[in-house]
Amino acid sequence: MRRSMWACLGLVAVASSVAVAPLAATAAVTGRQATSAAATAPPVAVAVEGSNGALWVQAPQLSSGWHSLGGKIIGPPAVVTIPGTSTPLEPLFIAVGTNDALWARTLTVGWHPLGGSTCYAVGAADTSGSLTAACLGLYDRLWTYNTADVTGCSGLPCFTTTPTDFGGVLTAGPAVTPFGYYLVLGEHGEIYISDGNAANGFTGTPWRCIGPPGASGYATAAGETTIFACQGTNHALWTASQSTETWSSAVSLGGVLISGPAIAATSSVTEFFVVGTNHAVWERTPTSGWASLGGYAVGGVAAVALTNVNGSS
């Protein structure tokens, strides 16, 4: 994997330089409504693999708390928005089944095959009205799927073309940005980025992480902003952002994570979701403290703001 200008992105600092607060079961606040971002927080869908292997979710279209949507999934799911649906936008949940194929469902329509095969871990995003999914697949390479037909299979998306082989050697599930970039974890914990063109390969970063990275983003009149996050080598949450080709330095938001984070970003607020040492889901913004969403997650968490990339519902 090649390195280029991305190598000036910032540095994940060593654990000794960070004040880390453990995520414990005795949180002072509970739920997204308890955060300081309550006034501007967008509607968000959150998803995990539960202790029974089923998909468990929180979404504003449902009553409070965690709800089982069934299935038997392998590893953390992905969740994206379905373009053009009601306000807030409807979430589409994507997961790897026991047959290593991709499956999808909504809050009201049950599981159906999404297409694809030999996917061991998945990331996905709504990329300009198309559904893009990325897999840690055969030979530990990055394989991607894309469709602009989001209603082609009984009113829901499905992939009907062969995947694109981006190569690489991945050690965790990939992340997809709304702008078509892919972030992956390499053999030695390095984060690499693809610009969405398989012919261009990957560029390296100085970030060192544990487990799958998270990515999200939003667009304003000033341009596109991408948010990156991961579990750092000290198990804390680390994040960086990019606007107009320039990345900020990575900063720690503390905590003790046991898996990769998820991000729900809009121009008004960015929310980070993680799994703590008690396997509960925890949430925070760059300026708020940690709040527990409860539940019991296996392997990781997914989240998406139920708004368009430009911030509208």
pLDDT in tens, 284-300: 999 999 999 999 999 89
Query: So what's the pLDDT on residue 82?
Result: 85
Q: Tell me, rounded to whole angstroms, the distance of Cα 216 from its chain centroid.
A: 7
pLDDT in tens, 185-223: 999 999 999 999 999 999 999 999 999 999 999 999 889
Domains of the chain: 5-305 (2.120.10.30)
Is the pLDDT higher at 158 or at 140? 140
Query: So what's the pLDDT on residue 27?
Result: 38
Asked if the model's pLDDT at residue 34 lies above 50, the reply is no
> What does pLDDT average to over the chain?
86
Query: So what's the pLDDT on residue 40?
Result: 63
- Cβ neighbour number for residue 101 with a 10 Å cutoff: 15
Instruction: Report how far residue 273's alpha carbon sits from residue 301's, in angstroms, rounded to the nearest whole number.
Output: 7
Instruction: Report how far residue 142's alpha carbon sits from residue 122's, in angstroms, rounded to the nearest whole number.
Output: 10
Instruction: Report how far residue 9's alpha carbon sits from residue 181's, in angstroms, rounded to the nearest whole number.
Output: 16
279 φ/ψ angles, rounded to the nearest 5 degrees: 70, 5
Q: Are strands 142-147 and 130-137 parallel, antiparallel or unpaired?
A: antiparallel
Query: So what's the pLDDT on residue 19?
Result: 30
Asked if the model's pLDDT at residue 4 lies above 90, the reply is no
Query: So what's the pLDDT on residue 98?
Result: 95
- Say how many CA atoms lie within 13 Å of 312 toward its Cβ: 6
Query: So what's the pLDDT on residue 85?
Result: 65
Asked if the model's pLDDT at residue 86 lies above 80, the reply is no
Query: So what's the pLDDT on residue 157?
Result: 87
pLDDT in tens, 128-141: 889 999 999 999 99
* Lowest mean per-residue pLDDT among 3-7, 85-89, 306-310: 3-7
Is the pLDDT higher at 92 or at 313? 92
- Report CA torsion sign: 291, 33, 297, 89: negative
Query: So what's the pLDDT on residue 299?
Result: 87
pLDDT in tens, 66-81: 999 999 999 999 999 9
Instruction: Report how far residue 229's alpha carbon sits from residue 232's, in angstroms, rounded to the nearest whole number.
Output: 9
Instruction: Report how far residue 240's alpha carbon sits from residue 242's, in angstroms, rounded to the nearest whole number.
Output: 7
Query: So what's the pLDDT on residue 307?
Result: 87
> Tokens 């979404």 — which residue?
59
DSSP letter for 311, please: S
Instruction: Report how far residue 297's alpha carbon sits from residue 241's, in angstroms, rounded to the nearest whole number.
Output: 27
* Lowest mean per-residue pLDDT among 48-57, 71-80, 84-93, 166-175: 84-93
Q: Give the mean model confidence (pLDDT) for residues 152-165.
A: 87
Asked if the model's pLDDT at residue 2 lies above 70, the reply is no
Percent pLDDT > 90 in the chain is: 73
* Lowest mean per-residue pLDDT among 50-59, 109-118, 254-263: 109-118
Asked if the model's pLDDT at residue 14 lies above 60, the reply is no
> HEC string of the chain?
CECCHHHHCCCCCCHHHCCCCCCCCCCCCECHHHCCCCCCCCCEEEEEECCCCCEEEECCCCCCCCEEEECCECCCCEEEEECCCCCCCEEEEEEEECCCCEEEECCCCCCEEEECCCEEEEEEEEECCEEEEEEEEHHHCEEEEEECCCCCECCECCCCCCCEEEECCCCCCCEECCCCCEEEECCCCEEEEECCCHHHCCEEEEEEEEEEEEEEEEEECCEEEEEEEEEECCCCEEEEEEECCEECCCEEEECCCCCCCEEEECCCCEEEEEECCCCCEEEECCCCCCEEEECCCEEEEEEEECCCCCCCC
Read off the pLDDT band of 305 (50, 70, 90).
Answer: very high
Asked if the model's pLDDT at residue 1 lies above 70, the reply is no
Whole-prediction pTM value?
0.88
Query: So what's the pLDDT on residue 74?
Result: 94
Q: How many residues does the chain have?
A: 313
Asked if the model's pLDDT at residue 310 lies above 70, the reply is no
Asked if the model's pLDDT at residue 22 lies above 50, the reply is no
